[in-house]
A and B are shown apart, each in its own frame.
Chain A
Amino acid sequence: MIRSVRRYARIYGRLVAASVRSQWQYRASFALYSASQLVATLAEFGAIWALFARFGSLPGWRLPEVAVLYGISNVAFALAEAGARGFDVFPGMVRTGDFDRLLLRPLPTAFQLAAHEVQIMRVGRLVQGSAILAWGCMGLGIEWDATRVSLVGLCVVGGACIFAGLFVLQATLAFWTIESLEVVNIVTYGGNQMAQYPLTIYRPWFRLFFTVAVPLAAINTVPMAALLSRPELSGLPAPLTWLAPCVGGPFLAACLLVWKLGERRYASTGS
């Protein structure tokens, strides 16, 4: 067990290093891509800041609190985006038949796709999200202890798992449709956009969807209830609110299970 984990980790490291080296050959392009992502995400947060400046507050929430949610969601999304890029280009592989080659290799396909072309240009969103997260955490005005810090870390990891799971699901659909489904962007990119604000501001049907179907509430209002000591935000017993982000693990595992089901159905389209 341990040996195989180490083996996978080594292979993963090699593949990632190779893809980073190849992207590093286009330094100017990398710099411009990262800059464009930085501009786009900065403008996004600029809009949040501007709306707070215009309206004074979002009912029940202060700017640093929203900044923490924004930071968690964006860092998690950037990590998932970097790690699950292979699933993004997967529908193209199905269409051309390139996926056959992955099946021939003695490694799980999901693993190969996760290691496929880790995009370093995602660093723009990562850096900006981390900065906003740090700024928000400092502005919360709470006593920081080890459990609170680890809760924020857990939120980032749990969120990354949820977003990665969604990317996997989106790709899995291509086993049936042979094309990429733009509609799923509603829960991936839309989910990220949604989770940048507290869930409480949305309409009930919308809140329900992002609690039950796509559990992004677990990195949003629920851990905030623990972090800010405002139990009314979640309606769950306190110990559960501290552990809520762990939901990301089972969610990702379930998505990978669906992936396996889809893979069994795969019939090559290549010529």
Chain B
Amino acid sequence: MRPYLAVLRTRCRLLLQYRAAAAAGLATQVAWGFLRLMILEAFYRAGGPAPMTLSQVSAYVWLGQAFLAMFPWNVDADVRDQVRTGSVAYELARPIDLYSLWFARALAMRTAPTLLRSVPLLTAALLLFGMPGPASAASLMWFAASMLLALLLACALTVILTASALWTISGDGASRLLAAVALSLSGNIAPLALLPDWLGRAVVLLPFSGIVDLPFRLYSGNIPPENAWLVLLHQSLWTVALVALGRGMVNRGMRRLTVMGG
């Protein structure tokens, strides 16, 4: 465990250096949050029943902006370059498990920027932009637990995206395609509850809802605390499955790895 913790710690420290980028990103994410909220508000003005209240939607949008850096929308660029140049072969010489190493790197990549951005953004949203607080203490507790699992799920997906480079070598088209699919189905574009019922019910079952949609609905009480165990079960099962899949990909990919060059 120790080497992986060391990787996690040093990567986090490195990523926390990019504070100016985080400040710029923050402004962008706030503007984007307003834009998304205004569009959804306009639809709510049409009246009609909706499975989510407008204040639940507001919480959903701001949480989505705050935790944007946590979603699996990109690959570990260093690892991708290692695969491209062939220096990934050095990693095989180290007495560590490659999947766990990449997972630890993903964990740092998903955690450090999120910490930098989410705290100020949530503070501003709660105090200034009218974001509602959690529905209850129980909702908040389940939300926190569910976000931890969401983080692990996002990392499992990130490693799968990264490992796809072992097949495509040049270009990251495949990982981009996967990321586009994952983000679209996660509820990042529109809350899954607002999709037509037949579609929403199907999409929620996929792993991606566990990163965005389900935890955010726990926060606002749209999913009541007594049903929270279902969310955690969904996230845990998919995390186990995706870790197994990623591990299989890395093992198989490394077995067929050919390093070129002299």
Residues of A that sit less than 8 Å from B by CB: 26, 28-33, 35-37, 39-40, 43-44, 46-47, 50-51, 53-59, 181-183, 185-186, 190, 193-194, 197, 201-203, 206
Contacts and interface: CB of A to CB of B under 8 A. Distances in A.
A39 B28 contact: no
B178 to A, nearest CB: 8
Given A50-B194, A50-B196, A186-B28, A33 B39 contact: no
Contact of B43 (A29, A35, A58, A185): A58
A32 B189 contact: no
Dominant secondary structure at the B interface: helix
Given A54-B50, A55-B44, A186-B28, A36 B176 contact: yes
Given A28-B168, A32-B171, A36-B180, A186 B31 contact: yes
Given A32-B176, A36-B180, A206-B38, 4 more contacts: A32-B173, A33-B176, A182-B24, A186-B27
Interface residues on B, range: 35 or more
Contact of B184 (A33, A39, A51, A53): A39
16 contacts: A35-B173, A37-B180, A43-B184, A44-B189, A54-B43, A54-B195, A59-B45, A182-B24, A182-B25, A182-B28, A183-B24, A190-B28, A190-B31, A190-B35, A197-B39, A201-B39
B195 A26 contact: no
Interface of B: 21, 24-25, 27-28, 31-32, 34-35, 38-40, 42-46, 48, 50, 168, 170-171, 173-174, 176-177, 179-181, 183-185, 189-190, 194-196, 199
A157 B46 CA distance: 33
A87 to B, nearest CB: 18
Nearest to A41: B180
Contacts of A59: 42, 45-46
Nearest to A182: B24
Contacts of B195: 50, 54
A29 B70 CA distance: 26
Nearest to B199: A50
A26 B44 contact: no
B180 to A, nearest CB: 4
Contact of B170 (A26, A182, A183): A26
A126 to B, nearest CB: 16
Contacts of B34: 206
B128 to A, nearest CB: 15
A216 to B, nearest CB: 13
B149 to A, nearest CB: 24
4 closest residue pairs by CB, A with B: A32-B173, A29-B171, A43-B184, A201-B42
Contact of A55 (B24, B50, B185): B50
